[in-house]
Amino acid sequence: MKLLVTGATGKLGTKVVEALLKSVPANQIAVSVRQPEKAEHFRAQGIDVRHGDFDRPETLDTAFQGIDRLLIISTDGDNETRIRQHTNAVEAAKRAQVGFVAYTSLAKASESRLSLAEVHRVTEEAIIKTGIPYSLLHNNWYLENEIGTIQAVLAGAPWVTSAGAGKVGWALRQDYAEAAAAVLAGSGHENTIYELSGPLMTQEQLAAALGAVLGKEVPVQQVDDAAYADIMKNAGLPEPLVSFLVDIQRGIREGSLEVESNDFEKLLGRPVTPINEALTQIVHDIRKTAH
């Protein structure tokens, strides 16, 4: 049985491979990366490192050869780029006769109104159309996505949001990685969709949890989308990122990430990392890199 993880030198991919190593012999794990030189640490552990570039389908044909179970980790970039890259990966998986494809998608992808949902809808449809058994991992929201806001709070700013009372199922990237590894290395996951969502919280509840970790009150500043955009621009963020963040805030406000599910626990065999513990870890990492 040979398992392959794409994008294995990225933030999520690295953690998926580390999780796999706990239950799978290294010689059964392969990784497909755009820059193999960045994966030397995997090669040193006995992992099969392959060159795979989502913009060069011929490299994927070679990378996916002889692979039984594949995890496609969604790429970064604008929607058009990502759709092209993901389609290339899915078509290569079909040509290579891969036996199973797992894909890191988005909460409620098929009905989500978030602008980034289109990428995941198109990719999911492409995967299902191949006829290959699949598992769609509907990742809710990484707690790490809030690092910028947490850094601002550490510097004395309030928690700024335009998400209103919208709820999010935040969880650590580590939890998402372990869930993906469980699906890739496990059995009985054919043609499944997992809604991977932590316990639902509002921005106020998350800020209160952060306050408990920091031992101080974290004030929350609820603004409208236009004011939120201005604050982000003034913080020096580029325009495309600002409009993306505003779209996310709006989506949260409208319930796009409000998903109640115990799929995480089913895959992990444990509850997700408690929010206080997760925030403590993130604050520790922020402070460590600041010194």
Examine the pLDDT at 148 and tell me if it is beyond 90.
yes
pLDDT at 86 over 90: yes
Nearest to 50 by CA among 59, 41, 20: 59
Once rounded to an integer, what is the mean pLDDT over residues 95-106? 98
Distances (CA, A) of 17 to 8, 26, 77, 107: 7, 9, 23, 23
pLDDT in tens, 5-46: 999 999 999 999 999 999 999 999 999 999 999 999 999 999
The 10 Å CB-count burial string (b at 16+, else e) for 13-46 is bbbbbebbbeebeeebbbbbbbebeebeebeeee
CB 174 within 8 Å of CB 272 = no
**Token output for 6:** 């794409």
Please list the residues that pair with 163 across neighbouring strands. none
Contact 182, 92 (CB under 8 A): no
User: pLDDT value at position 189?
Assistant: 98
Residue pLDDT, tens place only, 187-200: 999 999 999 999 99
Class of residue 86 by CB neighbours under 10 A (exposed 0-12, middle 13-18, buried 19+): buried
Give the tens place of pLDDT for each residue, 150-160: 999 999 999 99
Q: Is the pLDDT of residue 290 over 90?
A: no
pLDDT(52) > 90: yes
Residue 291, pLDDT score: 80
- CA 70, 72, 74: angle at the middle one, nearest 5? 175
Beta strands in the chain, from DSSP E residues, in sequence order: 3-6, 29-33, 48-51, 69-72, 100-106, 134-139, 141-142, 159-161, 170-171, 192-196, 220-222
The whole-number average pLDDT for the span 182-189 is 98
| 195-250 tens-digit pLDDT | 999 999 999 999 999 999 999 999 999 999 999 999 999 999 999 999 999 999 99
Beta bridge partners of 106: 139
Q: How far apart are CA 33 and CA 14, in angstroms?
A: 11
Strand, coil or helix: 56 = strand
